[in-house]
Amino acid sequence: MKRFKGFVRKEFYHIFRDKRSLFILFGMPIAQILLFGFAITNEINNVDIAVLDHSRDATTGEIINKIAASKYFSINEFIERETDIESVFQKGKIKAVLNFEKNFSRNLIRDNTATIQIITDATDPNTANTISNYTSSILRNYQQELNRDIQLAYQVLPEIRMVYNPELKGVFMFVPGVMTIILMLVSAMMTSISITREKELGTMEILLVSPLKPVLIIIGKVVPYIFLSVINAIVIIVLSIFVFKMPIQGSLFLLGVESVLFIITSLSLGILISTISTTQQTAMMVSLMGLMLPTILLSGFIFPISSMPVPLQVISNIIPAKWFIVLLKGIMLKGVGIVYLWKETLLLFGMALFFIVVSVRKYKIRLE
């Protein structure tokens, strides 16, 4: 046990004396969570739009005022001709143009219909989509006000309620994702690099010649990272609660247990990577390409799994991060307990076990 303690202490020296490790361990999680929380968001605010009003009557005036009053849009420019549309888009600042047809009011009253064309700059499809949804809904509101006194014969009234994240805050979606990525990065990449570093420098050989058991060498290298990952998880959760007002509906204890389970899964992946790579560079590339990329793309963190092609949906099942994100969202946002999450928990547990068994076997072969 004393030998083991000395080993772990040495590992901490390595970590705390390497500025790059320190940065990845502590700078990255904080930077990422703040970035995702503040800068990267699906919501739109104060988007600049232009108006091309061919009628300039009372109705168009009212609609323009309504749109200008919303916090989503600010009307930046009034243009005169159809040909100007192209050029305002090309300048880049304007993201949408509202084009009111001629005699808007008159058409509305006489024919009961009038048309507005909403043209959006779809170089960024997500924003374009959101803009058209928001303007449509403002227009729908206006229309309902017009018809307030008239009872339509047949009417379907959708009543919408968004549960678990009623304000549709993007950060609620990002926090579980970022936490997953960070834990994966710290646990898998950092351990695989630190183990291959010993191989590359030749110190692994010295350790293997010593009476220290190979299994203890690996555990000794991994323990500091479990410790640091747990600290990271705590930092992320505290930040998300206090900075982003993220609710933790479920049990904190369960959250902790599941996090440790995921950390162990990632660590065993890291060990596995270190058994197949001989240089730190390879270990890093394998971790980034083989782990981080699929984790970001296929875990449902950014892109919803349900809208992926079927083969990708199948592949996403073998990505531990997918299950961890389901668990995190379940505990944090829905407040459900183990009764509903046992399946995901078991899956993660099975994966951890599998990776540990495979890497221990692989590791033995390396010693031959």
Partner 1 sequence: MDNQPIIQVESLTKRFGDFSAVDAITFKVDKGEIFGFLGANGAGKTTAMKMLIGISNPTSGKAHVAGYDVFTQAESIKKSIGYMSQKFALYDDLTVKENITFFGGIYGLSGAQIKEKTALMIEELELHEVAHQLVGALPLGWKQKISFSVALLHNPKIVFLDEPTGGVDPITRRQFWEMIYKTAHNGTTVFVTTHYMDEAEYCDRVSIMVNGKIEALDTPKRLKEQFEVDSMNDVFLKLARG
Distance CA 16, CA 14 (A): 6
Interface region with partner 1, contact rule CB under 8 A, candidates 9-17, 25-33, 228-236, 287-295:
9-17
Assess 22 for contact with partner 1 (CB under 8 A).
no
Assess 40 for contact with partner 1 (CB under 8 A).
no
Assess 1 for contact with partner 1 (CB under 8 A).
no
Instruction: Give least dist CB 265 to partner 1, A.
Output: 28
Assess 211 for contact with partner 1 (CB under 8 A).
yes
Among 80, 111, 149, 368, binds partner 1 (CB under 8 A): 368
Among 158, 166, 202, 309, binds partner 1 (CB under 8 A): 202
Assess 7 for contact with partner 1 (CB under 8 A).
yes
Binding mask 212-251 for partner 1 (x = CB under 8 A): x---------------------------------------
What DSSP assignment string belongs to 95-118?
-EEEEEPTTHHHHHHHHS---EEE
Assess 77 for contact with partner 1 (CB under 8 A).
no
Write out the H or E segment, with its range, that includes residue 152.
Answer: none
Assess 311 for contact with partner 1 (CB under 8 A).
no
237 exposed, middle or buried (CB, 10 Å; 0-12, 13-18, 19+)? buried
What residue ranges in 23-72 does DSSP mark as E strands?
A: 47-53
Longest dimension (CA), the chain: 95
Assess 152 for contact with partner 1 (CB under 8 A).
no
Quickly count: other Cβ atoms within 10 Å of residue 325's Cβ: 24
Cα dihedral 146, 149, 153, 154 sign: positive
Per-residue tokens: 253: 């204890």
* Distances from the Cα of 99 to the Cα of 53, 56, 105, angstroms: 6, 11, 14
Nearer to partner 1, 85 or 212 (CB): 212
Instruction: Give least dist CB 358 to partner 1, A.
Output: 21
Among 207, 230, 296, 305, binds partner 1 (CB under 8 A): 207
Q: Which amino acid is at 110?
A: R
Nearer to partner 1, 153 or 367 (CB): 367
Q: Which of 368, 142, 190, 157 is nearest to 288 (CA)?
A: 190
Assess 149 for contact with partner 1 (CB under 8 A).
no
Among 22, 35, 68, 206, binds partner 1 (CB under 8 A): 206
Assess 18 for contact with partner 1 (CB under 8 A).
yes
Per-residue tokens: 187: 């646990």
Q: Which amino acid is at 169?
A: K
Interface region with partner 1, contact rule CB under 8 A, candidates 8-16, 127-135, 136-144, 151-159:
8-16
Assess 3 for contact with partner 1 (CB under 8 A).
yes
Number of residues that bind partner 1 (CB under 8 A): 24
Quickly count: other Cβ atoms within 10 Å of residue 242's Cβ: 9
Distance CA 202, CA 123 (A): 52
Which positions lie near partner 1, rule CB under 8 A? Answer: 2-3, 5-7, 9-10, 13-14, 17-18, 201-203, 205-212, 367-368
